Amino acid sequence: MLASYCPTVGHHTKLGERGRGPPMHINLEKEEATYGLPGITAYGGFFDVCHHKKGEKVFASAAAGAVGQLVGQFAKLTGCYVVGSAGSKDKVDLLKNKFGFDDAFNYKEEVDLDAALKKYFPEGIDIYFENVGGKMLDAVLQNMNMNGRISVRGMISQYTFEKPEGVHNLMWLFYKRTSFVPFAEFVLPQIQENRLIYVEDIAEGLGSGPAVLVGLFRGRNVGKQLVLAACE
């Protein structure tokens, strides 16, 4: 994603009436993230696909990414219990201490993902926001509750494999009857009242583009990855 704003300048844009949302001033960085494609994806995947209920147990993989961090906060804001997985200690700390997840774990340190999920979800998972695929999805399928919902956003662990890993536990979708599948009015007030926290990873200059792209597939970024083309 290319951006032409300069974070150090603190450029703002004024939003007028959008739908029935109130007019307000929103920082362009926040608008691009929470009110842009990551926010739309998180909102649609969580609310429209998962049809959550207060008190349900939610798991998000790649939870420190552009979409995962918002899904976790949406779930917390609506009364759910939320656990996220990430690939480093720093990201796990971010999930728990900045984004307000109830708990989080580093999947790279877990020898048995099924056992890890049973530890964090002893009563099972009601909603899974899928960003990873592969072994994580296999483990989750065994830990879903009856009538659970899985929202599939992506499977980034599989994109660079010459031969993607197979998923062996799809029968659990049948056994557990699992579903595998008004934005502005919700998101704008959360931004206005600073109840949504968003972290982006900004690299400066078009020359950094190739390294940034490689870093995406190696899990180096935290949040939405941006390349800053120029400061205005």
**What is the structure's pLDDT at 152?**
80
pLDDT at 136 > cutoff 80:
yes
**Gap between the Cα atoms of 193 and 187, Å rounded:** 10
Q: Of residues 163 and 133, which shows the higher confidence score?
A: 133
For 171-230, the pLDDT digits (tens) are 777 777 777 664 455 666 777 777 777 677 778 778 788 888 888 777 777 777 777 776
**What is the structure's pLDDT at 205?**
78
Local structure of residue 225 (DSSP, 8 states): E
**Gap between the Cα atoms of 127 and 140, Å rounded:** 10
Q: Pick the most confident of 53-57, 166-170, 181-185, 188-192.
A: 53-57
The first and second tokens of residue 212, run together, are 């940034």
Q: Is the pTM of this model over 0.85?
A: no
Beta-strand runs (E) in 61-112: 81-86, 103-106
Number of Cβ within 10 Å of residue 179's Cβ equals: 16
**Gap between the Cα atoms of 218 and 99, Å rounded:** 22
**What is the structure's pLDDT at 164?**
66
**Gap between the Cα atoms of 171 and 3, Å rounded:** 43
- The mean per-residue pLDDT over the stretch 12-16 comes to 38
**48-to-125, 201, 207, 232 alpha-carbon distances in Å:** 18, 28, 39, 37
**What is the structure's pLDDT at 26?**
57
> In this structure, which topology does domain 1-9+25-232 adopt according to CATH?
Rossmann fold (3.40.50)
**What is the structure's pLDDT at 28?**
55
Q: Of residues 225 and 90, which shows the higher confidence score?
A: 90
**What is the structure's pLDDT at 2?**
36
How many CA atoms does the CB half-sphere of 21 hold within 13 Å?
22
pLDDT at 22 > cutoff 60:
no
Beta 24-27 vs 2-3: how paired, if at all? unpaired
- The mean per-residue pLDDT over the stretch 3-13 comes to 35
**What is the structure's pLDDT at 14?**
39
CA torsion 35→37→38→42, rounded to 10°?
Answer: 90
Would you place residue 32 in the very low, low, confident or very high pLDDT band (cuts 50, 70, 90)?
low
Beta 12-15 vs 24-27: how paired, if at all? antiparallel
Q: Pick the most confident of 23-27, 96-100, 151-155, 184-188.
A: 96-100
**Gap between the Cα atoms of 42 and 73, Å rounded:** 10
**Gap between the Cα atoms of 165 and 154, Å rounded:** 14
Per-domain residue ranges for the chain? 1-9+25-232
Considering only 2-11, 67-76, 157-166, which range has the smallest mean pLDDT?
2-11
**85-to-18, 95, 134, 202, 213 alpha-carbon distances in Å:** 34, 9, 14, 22, 22
Local structure of residue 97 (DSSP, 8 states): H
Mean pLDDT (the chain) is: 78
* Angle at alpha carbon of residue 157, lines to 154 and 159, rounded to 5°: 75
